[in-house]
Every structure is written in C-alpha cells, then in structure tokens.
Amino acid sequence: MSKLVTIYGGSGFVGRYIARRMAKAGWRVRVAVRRPNEALFVRPYGVVGQVEPILCNIRDDNSVRAALRGADAVVNCVGVLVESGKNGFDAVQSEGAERVARLAAQEGVPRMVQISAIGADMDADSDYARSKGEGEAGVLKHMPQAVILRPSIMFGAEDSFFNRFAGMTRMGPILPVVGADTRFQPVYVDDVAKAAEKAVLGLAAPGIYELGGPDVDTFRGLMQRMLKVVHRRRLVLNMPWVVARVMAFGFDMLQAVSLGLFTNSMLTRDQVKNLRNDNVVGADAKGFAELGITPVTMEAVLPDYLWRFRPSGQYDAIKASARNLRQG
C-alpha cells in the first residue's frame, strides 16, 4: 500500500501545492481542514480516493490525533495572518503546531514538516512572529528531527499579496503602502512545496531552512514591478509609521467592537510591527541551495496570473499591438 501523508491546512495557499506534489509522487494524501466541503477541489489532484479532505480542528487533541493516525508523515501548514475569534496566533501557530508535533510523536509518525516564516522569533515584538517562533520550539521539543521551512512572502496564482495590491490599482492613481523601504525576498509557492516534498520523502536533513527567491527588493520596488506587469501607472505612496499605527488601531478597534462581524483584513497593529523588519534570508541560514532547488523568479510567474488586472485584461496585448499598427 502507498504511504500516507496528513497535511494540516492542506487546502490553503501553500498546502494545496504540497498536496498536489505528494499525490503526483504516489502518496495517499489526507487534507485536514476545518471545512472539508470547501476543500473538495483537492480531490482531482490524484486518482479516485487518493486525496481526501477530512474535518480537523487544530485546537482539539482528538481531532488532530484522528487526522494523523496511520500517517507516515505530517505537514503543518496552518497559520493565520489576522486573529479572528478563537483562531488567535497563540492558539493556532504556537499551541496548534506543538499539538501536531506532540501527537505525531505519540503516534509514532517518523517525519514532520512545519511551515513557519522568516522572522519567527520567540522574543519578537510582533505576536505573529513570536507565535511562529514558539510553534517552532514546540515542534522541535517533540519532533527534534523535524524539518522547519521559513519562507519569505510567497507569490503564486492564489496569493494575497500581489493580487491584493494589483486589485487596488483599479481604485485610483495612488497606491499606498506601509514600510516602502522594507526589504522582501518573495518566493514562488511551488518552490516551497517542492522543499516540503523533499522533506517528506526524507531527502532533506533535519533543521531550519529559510526560503527566499532569487530577487531581493523593497516593498516599493515590488509594487513597481507589479505595476509594470499590469500595465498601469500609479504613485506608490509610503504611509508614515505614525499614520499607519493610527489607522491600524482604528481597524483593530472596529473588529473588537463588531463582535466578529468585521475582520480586519486591511491593516493590523501587529502587521505594522512586522513591516518594520526586513523579510529576507539570513546570511548564515540553510536554504534552497542545501535542498538542491533553484528558485523561480517573479518575472517568470507574475504575468501568468496578474494579466487580469491590466486595463483590458486578456486583450491588453492585442490592443497595444493594434495601436502600434495604426501608428505605423
């Protein structure tokens, strides 16, 4: 019988890419998610019955244990960018990650991969980064041979970074950003999935790997790259830190007083703290080179999914060509 991998959060942005790769490698894939009915799209990644979404709440021991029982490897991709209700940073990224590792160790699962993030640090000022760091420590406490992957900001067809800001270009001539000079090292989501696949297959040594793409650029620079792809001219305006903090406080308070009716997906105070720090691979960190992976450039991928934000969408190139003919 083929081997089985349980992927917590396997229908999310990076999880679905890992699930697809593991299915292609011949593994049975158990996609553990809170809403299985919304994850049915993962089934065609393999043959009938090879990839199955199942109900799992990472905050519950019994639920997590049932999802990993009989597995040969587990991958934890669960994380949150914005706290909402019971799904806070501590509950999901700190306690949840340790719960998966603890129960995997108890069930005798030999391999675990934890998807973390560059900047994970138990002493960080940001709750997001702190909880990621605590999650890593919890994983290594119970599964010392685990592989921990720390990607920089990930891009791909379903990303919430380039898609979000490309959508904002439709709203006016100004594109506001917070931390315009903060540096990032965007990484293609499928390259992260490739690293996770190698770890599940036992082709990566245990330890922490920081994953960044071949290009390092500032937030402003990334927006200018995106604008070239979507064929729009916009003024990238850097928002002062004090203004960003005030705005974030307002959005956070609105979420608090709305009793969950409004989720602050705009800008949080914790995100403002994170945006003060560069998000790039450390000088002495292990990364793609040690995994034998050559990361893909942004230029090779961004046009494949950002074309829909161009003024004329898929017809933009045709209209440009027609204009050139008239001018000739």
Interatomic CA distance for residues 176 and 267, integer angstroms: 12
pLDDT at 85: 87
Angle 95-106/127-142 helices, nearest 10 degrees? 10
- φ and ψ at 168, to 5 degrees? -70, -20
Q: Domain map of the chain by residue range?
A: 4-156+183-215+279-293
| pTM of structure | 0.94
**193-207 tens-digit pLDDT:** 999 999 999 999 999
pLDDT at 327: 61
CB 280 within 8 Å of CB 216: yes
Q: What is the band of 209 on the pLDDT scale with cuts at 50, 70, 90?
A: very high
Please tell us whether the domain made up of 4-156+183-215+279-293 is placed in CATH 3.40.50.720: yes
**102-150 tens-digit pLDDT:** 999 999 999 999 999 999 999 999 999 999 999 999 999 999 999 999 9
Q: Is 210 helix (H, G, I), strand (E, B) or coil?
A: strand
Q: Is 156 helix (H, G, I), strand (E, B) or coil?
A: coil
Q: Share the mean pLDDT of the chain.
A: 95
Interatomic CA distance for residues 318 and 313, integer angstroms: 10
**234-264 tens-digit pLDDT:** 999 999 999 999 999 999 999 999 987 899 9
Q: Is 191 exposed, middle or buried (0-12, 13-18, 19+ CB in 10 A)?
A: buried
